[in-house]
Amino acid sequence: MPTVAKVWIEEDCITCDACQDILPEVFEVTDDTSLIKAEVREDGTFDRNTGFSAIKTEFRAEYSELIEEAADACPVEIIKFEYEAGAATEVAEEAPAAVEAVAPVAVAADTGADAGVLAGVLSGDRGLAIFFGSQTGNAAGLAEKTAKKAVAYGLEPSVIDMDGYDQSQFSTHKRILIITSTWGEGEMPDNAEELWNSTNSSNPSLAGIHYSVCAIGDTSYDEFCKAGTDWDDKFKSLGATSILEIKLCDVDFDEPWTEWVNEVLPRIACVDSSGVFHEDLVEAMIAYGAGDEDDGASDGDFAPPEIVMPTISLTMKIFRYNPVMAQSGYDTIAVALPGHATIEDALVAVKREVDGSLTFRSGGIAGHNPLTGVKANGRILPADTTRICDLVSDGATLTIEPIPGYDVLKDLMVSYDRYDNERANSKPWMAADPRQGEKLVSGAPMGVMASSEATNLHTLADVGSLQLVNAMSDTYDVDDEYSGPGIALQRWVRSQDPRSGVKHVKQMFSLMQNKGGIWDEADISSIHRHGIDGSQAADALYEARSRLLAEYKFTGRTGRLVKNYSRSVKMSGNVNETTLYRSVLGPLGLGSNLMNGVSLRMMLGFTRNGGPMMRGFQGMLVPPAGIGKIPNMFNGKVANHHEVVAIFNELDSRF
C-alpha cells in the first residue's frame, strides 16, 4: 500500500472543517482556509503547503489513509496529495511501461489509492481488437458502436472484419471482443466461415489473450447463437481467458448488447499492456470511463472543428430610418469583432453597446431565418448566418441597409406584406387532380412520384429564402406590379409538379406569362450574381421562360424579341438592330421613339460620341426612318455563316 508523501490545499476552501474532523493532527481550518500544520511538515511552516513540502517520514504511515479519507471527504476537492516515489517504482515493477506515465496528481487525488495503478494500466499498449461476424450488418454495426464506447476507457479499438483475417495474428492481441450473428441452422455468417475453419484446423495458442463474446441470434431457431458459443468454446479451449461470460442476444439485441458492452469494456480495459487483468481496478475504471464520457462523445460521430477567425476592425455604416419623423440616414460606427461573428452578431453588439433603438430582425437561436435579410455591401444576405469575415477584410467598411423592394418599417426591418400578398393571390400551392397512387400498409392512400422527379422539383426551388430572392432582382423595387422572381419560382415549381392538376398548371402558366409575371424581370443577370441562391433562381427563370415561349408560341413583345433576335443571328451571325427595333417595337414603338427623342439622340451623335454624324443622317433619309441605325440594315454575314445556320438547324428549327 503506498503512503502519502505530500499533501497540500488548493484555493477555494469553503472551511467546512471536514478535513480537520478527520485528521486534526495534519489539517487546521482557519477563518479563510484549511492549512497543513507545521508539526508534520519537513519545512516546519504553517500554510496551505503550496511549496509542496514533504510530510515528515515518521508520520507518513500513520496518517496516509486518513489523508486519503480527508481528500475523499472534501466537498470541493481541493485537498491534493502525492504518494512516495517508491509507490511509482512498485507500479513500475508490475507494469514497466507505466514509469513515464504515473497519473497526474489531480487524478491521483480523484480516484484514491488505486489511481496510481490505474494510471499504469492506462499506459502502454491499449489496443482492443473487435471482430465481427456479420451476415446482414447488425453485428458489424454493433462492433462500430462498441469501438466508439471503448475510447472512453482509454482503449484504442480497431474493428476487424473476420473475412480474410489470418488466424495466426490472433496472438498479436491482448484484448479481443467478438460480436457475431448466427446464420441458418447454427452456421457461421459468410464472412466468418473461412476464419472459423482455419482456426479449427490450426488451433493456434491463444494464451495471454483476454476476450469476451457477444452473440446475436434468434430464439426461434434450435441452434440459438451457436456461432457465438462456438467461438467462445474455441477461444477457451485454445487458452484464452474469458474476461466476461458470453452474452446471448435475441432479435431485440440492443438492450442485452448495451448490458454486455457496459460491463465488458471496463473489465477488458483493466488488462494492462503486459496482459495482466487487474480486477481490483474495475470500479475505478468504471468511474474513469464515466468521467470521460462527455469527452468521448465529442470525439465520436461528429467532432466539430474549432472555428475561430481573427478579429476584424471595420467601419460599419448602418442605415437608420425613423418612421415617426420620416427621417433617414446612416450611422457610422467603428467596431472590432471576431471574424466568425455574423452580421446579426455585429448588429446585436451595436444595439447593446451603442444604440438600443436599432431595429432589425433576429434569427433566434435556431439560425437561418429567411426573413433576416439585409443588403450588406450590395449583397442580399441572411444576417443570421452570414459571417463578417466572408464579406470584408480588416479595415474595410461594411454598409448595412434594408433589403430593396419592400417597405421599410424601421431601420433595417422591412415589411414582407408585398411578398405575402402576392403569394396569397397566386396560390402557388398544391391543387391536384385525382390520380393513381399506392396504398400504405395501413391501407391509407399515398401518392407516388419517381425519385428523379422529386429531386428535380426540390432542385428547382432549392433556395434559402424566396423573400430574399425577390430582393436580388434590380427590377423588383422599381416595378410595383412585378410579383418578383421568388414568387415566379414558386409558380414555376408548381407548374412542373406532376401532381398538379391540369387546370392548376394552366393557371400557373397564365400568371407567369401575364403582367406581373416572369417577363417583368428586366435582367435576370442581376439575380444570377447573388451566389448559389441567385444562380439557382436565375437558371429556373430561364427554364421557365423557355417553356412559356413554347407554350404561348412567341407571342407578345418579349416573344417577338426572342424570335426576331434569334432569327437575326441565324440570318447573318450578328444582331441586326435595325430590323430588331422595327420588328419588336412595331410602327407605334418606332413612332414613340421619334416623338420622345430617343431617335434624335441616336442621330445627333449622342450614342456615337463625336462620331461621324453622316451615319445618323443616313438613318433619317433611308426607310425605315426613325432610329438612325441604317448601316446595320445591310450588315454583312459573318465568315462561314453557314456554320451558324447549321447550329440553329441542329438545335432549334423554330428560328
Partner 1 sequence: MVKYSYYPGNVARQSSFEVEDTIQPLCKSLGIELIEMVGYNSDGGNIIKQGNRELQLALNARNIALAESNGHDIITACASAQGILHETLDTFQKDPIALANANRVLEKTTGMTVSGEISTNHLLHVLVDEIGLDKVEAAVVNPLDLDIACYYGPHMQREGACGGDDAWNPNYMEQLITALGGNPVEFRTKTSSVGNPSLLSLGDSVMKMTARVLNDAKKSGAQVLVSACTQSHSNLDSYQGKAGRVASKDTNIPVVHLSEIVAFALGHFPDRFAQLRTRAIIIGS
Task: Find where cell 461476424 sits.
Answer: 133
355 in Cβ contact with 395 (< 8 Å): no
Pick between residue 139 and residue 376 the one whose CB is nearest to partner 1.
376
Pick between residue 367 and residue 378 the one whose CB is nearest to partner 1.
378
DSSP string, 556-570: HHHHHHHHHHHHHHH
Pick between residue 262 and residue 525 the one whose CB is nearest to partner 1.
525
Q: Nearest distance from residue 564's CB to partner 1, in Å?
A: 9
446 in Cβ contact with 439 (< 8 Å): yes
Q: Nearest distance from residue 219's CB to partner 1, in Å?
A: 54
CA torsion 417→422→426→429, rounded to 10°?
Answer: -40
Q: How many C-alpha atoms does 42 have within 13 Å on its Cβ side? A: 12
Q: Nearest distance from residue 526's CB to partner 1, in Å?
A: 4
Q: Nearest distance from residue 552's CB to partner 1, in Å?
A: 12
Q: Nearest distance from residue 194's CB to partner 1, in Å?
A: 42
Pick between residue 53 and residue 572 the one whose CB is nearest to partner 1.
572
Name the nearest CA neighbour of 108 among 53, 63, 71: 71
| 384-408 residues labelled b (16+ CB within 10 A) or e (exposed) | bebbbbebbeeeeebbbbbbbbbeb
Instruction: Compute CA distances 9 → 38, 41, 78, 102, 109, whole Å.
Output: 14, 14, 6, 21, 12
Cell matching residue 515: 403582367
Pick between residue 152 and residue 598 the one whose CB is nearest to partner 1.
598
Q: H or E stretch including 362? A: none
> Strand 210-216 vs strand 241-242: parallel, antiparallel, or unpaired?
parallel
Q: Nearest distance from residue 544's CB to partner 1, in Å?
A: 10
Whether residue 189 is preceded by a cis peptide bond, meaning omega within 30 degrees of 0, is no
Q: Nearest distance from residue 139's CB to partner 1, in Å?
A: 41
Pick between residue 199 and residue 470 the one whose CB is nearest to partner 1.
470
**What does DSSP assign to residue 9?**
E
- Tell me, letter by letter, the H, E, C secondary structure of 438-488: EECCCCCEECCCCHHHHHHHHHHCCCCCHHHHHHHCCCCCCCCCCCCHHHH
Pick between residue 113 and residue 569 the one whose CB is nearest to partner 1.
569
Sheet holding 397-401, edge to edge: 327-338, 311-322, 397-401, 373-376, 379-382
Q: Nearest distance from residue 475's CB to partner 1, in Å?
A: 6
56 in Cβ contact with 89 (< 8 Å): no
Residues facing residue 282 across a β-bridge = none
Task: Find where cell 414555376 sits.
Answer: 492
Q: Nearest distance from residue 559's CB to partner 1, in Å?
A: 9
Name the nearest CA neighbour of 76 among 9, 172, 176: 9
Could you give the CA distance from residue 467 to residue 484 in angstroms, rounded to a whole number? 9
Instruction: Compute CA distances 63 → 45, 60, 87, 482, whole Å.
Output: 18, 5, 16, 88
Q: Nearest distance from residue 540's CB to partner 1, in Å?
A: 12
Q: Nearest distance from residue 247's CB to partner 1, in Å?
A: 53
Pick between residue 234 and residue 608 the one whose CB is nearest to partner 1.
608
Q: Nearest distance from residue 293's CB to partner 1, in Å?
A: 45
Pick between residue 120 and residue 405 the one whose CB is nearest to partner 1.
405
Pick between residue 282 and residue 604 the one whose CB is nearest to partner 1.
604
Cell matching residue 190: 459468410
Task: Find where cell 498479436 sits.
Answer: 172
Pick between residue 322 and residue 397 the one whose CB is nearest to partner 1.
397
Give residues with Cβ within 8 angstroms of 479, minimum separation 6: 520, 522
Pick between residue 258 and residue 475 the one whose CB is nearest to partner 1.
475
Pick between residue 277 and residue 321 the one whose CB is nearest to partner 1.
321
Q: Nearest distance from residue 388's CB to partner 1, in Å?
A: 14
